[in-house]
Amino acid sequence: MTKERKHNTRWITLITFILIFLVLVAATIFAAIYIPKTAIYVPVIAVGLALALQKYTASFIAHFVINFSNIYAPGDRIRIGNIKGDVGRVGIFHTTLEEVGEDEKLGGELTGRLLHVPNLIILDQPVLNYSKDYSVHNKTISSDFMFDEVRIPITTTSNVQKATEILERILKSQDEIHIKEASLIFEESYPEFLNEAMTGPRVLIFIEPQHIWIKGKFVTPLRGRNELKSRIQYEFFKEINASSDIKLA
């Protein structure tokens, strides 16, 4: 279906919904005026209509909230509650998402399933938009760059300093190109995560009784983060395999 046909279909659906609603209201008013015996049923019918159309009305209103507030648009990757996916279409009553698996399930990749989410859910659920827009100096900058991290457990007898230095070096070499790309997009007006990537510590250490976690942060485009994470981990494992004083826990 072409974009023009989709647009026409949306408007036909909207007009049909409005006409049905108006016909029902008009029929109720007509009956109350010209058939007095039915007047006592008008409040019951009105309440029934309100209850029956409550969710559809809320989804219809939410459709305009989504579009006018630019909460998300086709192509964005979003999370609403525990639902995560890429926006395919924002309809009059439903948003169609291509489902994205969680990190422990398909590693944040598309699952191949479609989700049809009622628009009204955005009225009482927080919406996380991974494909976010930043406002800098009164202009909007679109960027899908984000922070991600690798978490690697090593033994408590490992050379922690050496391990952190290795991971730090790998992180800087692997995401250098993405930091440069993001810097060009933002033209020196960097968001906080990019400032942190360029000036703050990249590797943090967390000690537990049985092992030590070294966590490294890196800048990545949203849809390439799994590939970049895999490269970072592969390079780290390759380097420590040649070292006798760093062991994985």
- 199 and 86 fall within a common domain: no
Q: In terms of Cα–Cα distance, which of 40, 41, 39 is closest to 49? A: 41
pLDDT band, very low/low/confident/very high, at 111 (cuts 50, 70, 90): confident
The one-letter amino acid code at 245 reads: D
What pLDDT is stored for residue 104 in this prediction? 43
Task: Please give the average per-residue pLDDT across 173-202, as a whole number.
Answer: 75
Tell whether 248 is covered by a domain: no
Q: In terms of Cα–Cα distance, which of 136, 215, 246, 235 is closest to 182? A: 136
- 145 and 98 fall within a common domain: no
| Helix, coil or strand: residue 209 | coil
Task: Using the Cα atoms of residue 36, residue 41, residue 47 and residue 52 in order, give the sign of their dihedral.
Answer: negative
Tell whether 83 is covered by a domain: yes
- 124 and 43 fall within a common domain: yes
Counting residues of the chain whose pLDDT is more than 90, the rounded percentage is: 10
Following DSSP, what letter does each residue of 114-160 receive, concatenated? EEEEEGGGGGTS-EEESS-EEEETTEEEE--EEEEEEEEEE-TTS-H
- 10 and 126 fall within a common domain: yes
- 58 and 112 fall within a common domain: yes
The one-letter amino acid code at 158 reads: S
pLDDT band, very low/low/confident/very high, at 124 (cuts 50, 70, 90): confident
- 148 and 194 fall within a common domain: yes
Q: In terms of Cα–Cα distance, which of 166, 29, 152, 10 is closest to 89? A: 10
Of the three residues 82, 113, 131, the one that is the final residue of a domain is 131
| Helix, coil or strand: residue 99 | strand
Tell whether 49 is covered by a domain: yes
Task: Please give the average per-residue pLDDT across 122-151, as a whole number.
Answer: 73
Counting residues of the chain whose pLDDT is more than 70, the rounded percentage is: 66
**What domain range is 160 assigned to?**
135-241
CA atoms within 13 A on the CB side of 219: 26
pLDDT band, very low/low/confident/very high, at 236 (cuts 50, 70, 90): very high
Whether the predicted pLDDT of 9 surpasses 60: no
When the pLDDT of each residue in the chain is averaged and rounded to a whole number, the result is 76
Looking at the structure of the chain, the number of domains it has is 2
Whether the predicted pLDDT of 232 surpasses 70: yes
CATH label of the domain that carries residue 96: 2.30.30.60
**pLDDT tens across 188-213, in order?**
665 666 777 777 788 888 888 888 99
**pLDDT tens across 41-65, in order?**
556 655 565 556 667 777 777 888 8
- 65 and 144 fall within a common domain: no
- 98 and 172 fall within a common domain: no
Q: Please, are residues 237 and 154 in contact by the beta-carbon 8 Å criterion? A: no
Tell whether 185 is covered by a domain: yes
Task: Please give the average per-residue pLDDT across 76-96, as a whole number.
Answer: 84
| Least confident stretch, 29-43, 95-109, 174-188 | 29-43
- 15 and 114 fall within a common domain: yes
Task: Please give the average per-residue pLDDT across 162-181, as a whole number.
Answer: 88
| Helix, coil or strand: residue 50 | helix
